[in-house]
Amino acid sequence: MTNNSLRNPLAGLRVAITGGTSGLGLALVREMLGRAAEIAFVARGREGVERVVRQNCRAHGIVGDVSNKDDIHPLAIQIVGALGGLDVLVNSASDLGPAPLALLGDTPCEDLERALATNVLGPFRLTKALLGALASSAREGRGGVVLNVSSDAAINPYPRWGTYGASKAALHHLSRIWDAELEGEGIRFLSLDPGDMDTPLHALAVPDADPSELKRPETAARELADAIATVLSDRNGSRCARSEAAKETPYDSRQLAHSSSHGSEVVGG
Amino acid sequence: MIAASLPIHRHTEAKLLVVDRTGSIRHRKRSEFVALLRPGDLVVANDAATLPASLSGQHLRSGRSIEARLAGHRSLSPDDSCRFSAVLFGEGDFRMRTEDRPLPPAVASGDWLVLGPLRARVEEVLGHPRLVTLNFNGSPDQIWEGLSHHGRPIQYSHVPTPLALWDVWTSIAGPPVAFEPPSAGFVLDWQTLASLRARAVQFATITHSAGISSTGDKELDALLPFDEPYRIPESTALAIRRTRERHGRISAIGTTVVRALEHAAGLDGVVRAGEGLATQRISAASRLRVVDAIFSGTHEPGTSHHDLLRAFTDDTTLSMVDQELDEHGYRTHEFGDSVFFERNWDRSCSEEAILASQDPRPDTGRVMQ
């Protein structure tokens, strides 16, 4: 292993990011490119995808909707086709649910269905389609990490955040079970809360929030990339040490390492 | 044999015919596959995902409709997605047996095909009116996008409902470089991989660009398999070396794995990591230097896959196997039943294999049914 991969374990790794044209997803695309990773990102709108590719010409932009089952295999082909394999998957694309936020009793069923399709079924299906590539990466000692972007609304029952919170809670639990089931394959799952950020999704949820009090998505992207890098370098540095550490550290304390610490009910993703 | 007509990967009643190294034949359930392996063995599978390789469109010069089935490419590099060899078909679709499909319009090098959002130029006609090299227009990303949306998996007339991509991807599918599914790999799901681990059986993968298995054209089928690029990861080469050192057996999941590993092995039987182009045809005359056993679908005599089994056992045993498969109602083709062949003891050529065959450890995998 080179010094460079010790210092920057993401260098040269093949990373896919969903929701890559705005907010946290876009910040992650830039952050990972800055760390010399090979990037493929996914978003629904062709215009946005083309704009981000123009600004970041090393990234592969892919148009598709993770909430649509028929898009999943075309996405997987394009991601693994363009990158030649896959080491890290970041499921960042998220649907807020009703906007403005609404009590569950006032939430249209279709809004809940859409949020579940984007925030739970989409990451489940895409991860499942990419599991073979991720397992190969893990066997080759390269990567095999999935980061699912979570929220403190996945843990706390904030009123009016029911749709988003319930969908993120499902994703969070899915991540934990997947992490337990695939440990033997060497694939690790992270479910991290980036904190309340100044993103289009947050603006949709809390239109009158003061942006200066919110975390910049670039800051959150750096923290998330650090968290992935830590998992990767633990693995590369010493497999034995990693498995010992994993035994001692319960999953929840690891996943909350990056949760926001403010006391307000305002949360975001 | 009966054609398997439903795209079910792990039919609970699926059968497995086992031929051990003495040539004796047993019938097992495929779900008992893991029990055939011993602690210390290594299972090697092909992690190629299946491309939607069937592209319908139009031959621009004649205005006639055409189907191009991508059949091979020269390398596994992700940037090398513009040049493919392809087999052309005329009018009709998968409900018509390939044998009955009309010839495509006469194509010449320089002709253009419009295949949905993709445009491809015929670079070369390869000595047969159906076999060409196509060069796709556009950047690699544009070609991947066009293929992934417009392409359909190659369909089979014996499977009445159209196949979707998820029907033809194995659980371990990674790089999209196979033209037809490496279907022996359907036996592997994540539970099976966990069971292998629990039995202390190692697991490794290679990536092998499995080409088309049949074109319905006798002259073309005689050329199969086409040259196929493959890649052997360092970790897999290392796992093979270590398995040899501890006298474990190497079991290949599917014919493509046999082809890649045997091609990558030097005369000394050492498999080297890296990319290669498998050009050889494995049959009765081939000396296997790496693979001790093969898990495969059932294959009909006369096909290149059936021929490959002749490297594992003698023709007398093989014709007994064919008879048994018929008598016991085994189903054939991609979603059918399976066979597991240990290489016949007199076909062992390495010292390790001979030592392994004298291994005194109890062999729980070979308890008779």
B74-91: pLDDT as tens digits? 889 877 778 999 999 987
Question: Quick one: DSSP state of residue B141?
Answer: H
pLDDT band at A2 (very low <50, low <70, confident <90, very high): low
**What's the start-to-end Cα distance of chain B, in Å?**
23
Q: Can you tell me the distance from the alpha carbon of B269 to that of B253, in angstroms, rounded to the nearest whole number?
A: 19
Does A61 lie at the interface with B, CB-CB under 8 angstroms?
yes
Domain residue extents for chain A: 8-258
For residue A63, the cross-strand partners are: A43
**Integer Cα distance of A165 and B209 in angstroms:** 43
Equal fold, B2-49+162-360 vs B53-150: no
Specify the pLDDT at position A115.
98
What is the rounded average pLDDT of the residues B287-315? 92
Residue-level pLDDT at A6? 65
CA distance A208 to A229: 35
CA distance A88 to chain B (A): 13
> Quick one: average pLDDT of B340-356?
66
Residue B49 contacts A where some CB pair is shorter than 8 Å:
yes
pLDDT range class, residue A27, cuts 50, 70, 90: very high
State the Cα–Cα distance between residues B147 and B69, nearest whole angstrom.
Answer: 11
What pLDDT does B211 receive?
Answer: 87
Long-range interactions of A65-70: CB distance < 8 A, separation 24+: A66/A18, A66/A42, A66/A91, A66/A93, A66/A118, A66/A122, A66/A123, A66/A125, A66/A126, A67/A95, A67/A114, A67/A117, A67/A118, A67/A121, A67/A122, A68/A117, A69/A121, A69/A125
Picking from B222, B217, B213, the residue whose alpha carbon sits closest to that of residue B182 is B213
**Residue B213 confidence (pLDDT) above 70:** yes
> Across residues B186-197, what is the average pLDDT?
96
Q: B175 vs chain A: nearest CA distance in angstroms? A: 6
- Bigger pLDDT: A58 or B95? A58
The structure tokens 């279709």 sit at: A110
| B294-302 average pLDDT score | 90
Q: What is the pLDDT of residue A240?
A: 41
Summarize pLDDT for A92-128 with one digit per residue, the tens.
999 999 999 999 999 999 999 999 999 999 999 999 9
**CB–CB of A124/A231 below 8 Å?**
no
3-state per-residue secondary structure call for chain A: CCHHHHHCCCCCCEEEEECCCCHHHHHHHHHHHHCCCEEEEEECCHHHHHHHHHHCCCCEEEECCCCCHHHHHHHHHHHHHHHCCCCEEEECCCCCCCCCCCCHHHCCHHHHHHHHHHHHHHHHHHHHHHHHHHHHHHHCCCCCEEEEECCHHHCCCCCCCHHHHHHHHHHHHHHHHHHHHCHHHCCEEEEECCCCECCHHHHHHCCCCCHHHCECHHHHHHHHHHHHHHHHHHHHHCHHHHHHHHHHCCHHHHHHHHCCCCCCCCCCC
Q: What is the pLDDT of residue B266?
A: 80
Interchain contact, A135 vs B172, CB within 8 Å: yes
What percentage of chain B exceeds 90 in pLDDT? 66
Lowest-confidence pick of A7-21, A170-184, B4-18: B4-18
CB atoms inside a 10 Å sphere around CB A12: 15
Which distant-in-sequence residues (6+ apart) come within 8 Å of A201 by Cβ?
Answer: A23, A94, A96, A268, A269
What A216-219 contacts at long range (C-beta under 8 Å, 24+ apart), as own/partner pairs, is A216/A27, A217/A23, A217/A24, A217/A26, A217/A27, A218/A27, A218/A30, A218/A31
Substitution target in B148, B199, B209, B235 with the highest count of A β-carbons within 10 Å is: B148
User: Is the distance from CB of B114 to CB of B57 less than 8 angstroms?
Assistant: yes
pLDDT on residue B354 = 43
Q: Domain spanning B53-150: which CATH class is it, in words?
A: mainly beta
A-chain residue closest to B152, CA distance: A74
- Mean pLDDT for A187-205 is 94
**A211 and chain B in contact, CB less than 8 A:** no
**Average pLDDT for residues B189-203, to the nearest whole number?**
97
Q: What is the mean pLDDT of chain B?
A: 88
What's phi and psi for B287, nearest 5 deg? Answer: -95, 120
User: Which residue type is seen at A131?
Assistant: L
Distance CA A262, CA B226 (A): 62
CA B75 to chain A, closest CA, distance in angstroms equals 12
Name beta bridge partners: B89. B67
Query: Which superfamily is assigned to B2-49+162-360 in CATH?
Result: QueA-like (3.40.1780.10)
Least confident segment among A40-54, B218-232, B318-332: B218-232
The whole-angstrom separation of Cα A68 and Cα B242 is: 44
Contact A63 B145 (CB under 8 A): yes
Q: Which long-range contacts (CB under 8 A, 24 or more apart) does A256-263 make?
A: A256/A193, A257/A192, A257/A227, A258/A192, A258/A193, A258/A194, A258/A195, A258/A223, A258/A224, A258/A227, A259/A152, A259/A192, A259/A193, A259/A195, A260/A152, A260/A193, A260/A194, A260/A195, A260/A196, A260/A215, A262/A196
Pairing of strands B131-136, B83-89: antiparallel
* pLDDT value for A5: 63
- pLDDT tens figures, B18-47: 999 999 999 999 999 999 999 999 999 999
CB-side exposure of A90: number of CA atoms within 13 Å?
32
Residue B231 dihedral angles phi and psi, to the nearest 5°: -135, 130
Nearest-Cα residue of chain B relative to residue A142? B235
Contacts of B130 (CB under 8 A, 6+ apart): B87, B88, B89, B103, B104, B215, B217, B220
Which tokens in the block code for residue B328?
């016991």
Write the pLDDT tens digit of every residue in A210-232.
999 999 999 999 999 999 999 99
- Answer whether CATH 3.40.50.720 is correct for domain A8-258: yes
Give the mutation candidate from B47, B70, B118, B145 for the A interface (greatest A CB count, under 10 A). Answer: B145
Q: Where are the domains of chain B?
A: 2-49+162-360, 53-150
- Higher per-residue pLDDT: A5 or A196: A196
Query: How confident is the model over B92-124, as pLDDT tens digits?
Result: 776 677 677 778 889 999 999 999 999 999 999
CA separation for the pair B360, B318 (Å, rounded)? 27
Q: Which residue, among A46, A57, A69, A73, would best test binding to B if mutated, counting the most B CBs under 10 Å from its CB?
A: A73
- Which pLDDT score is estimated for B364? 34
Task: Report the first-to-last Cα separation within chain A, whole angstroms.
Answer: 35
- Structure-model confidence comparison of residues B268 and A255, the more confident one: B268
Please tell me the predicted confidence (pLDDT) of residue B159.
74
ipTM for the whole predicted complex goes beyond 0.95: no
pLDDT digits (tens, 9 = 90+) for B126-179: 888 889 999 999 999 999 999 999 999 987 777 777 888 998 999 999 999 999
Task: Check whether B276 has a pLDDT greater than 50.
Answer: yes
Residue B347's pLDDT is what? 66
- Please, what is the average pLDDT of chain A? 88
- For residues B91 and B45, the answer to whether their CB atoms sit within 8 Å is no
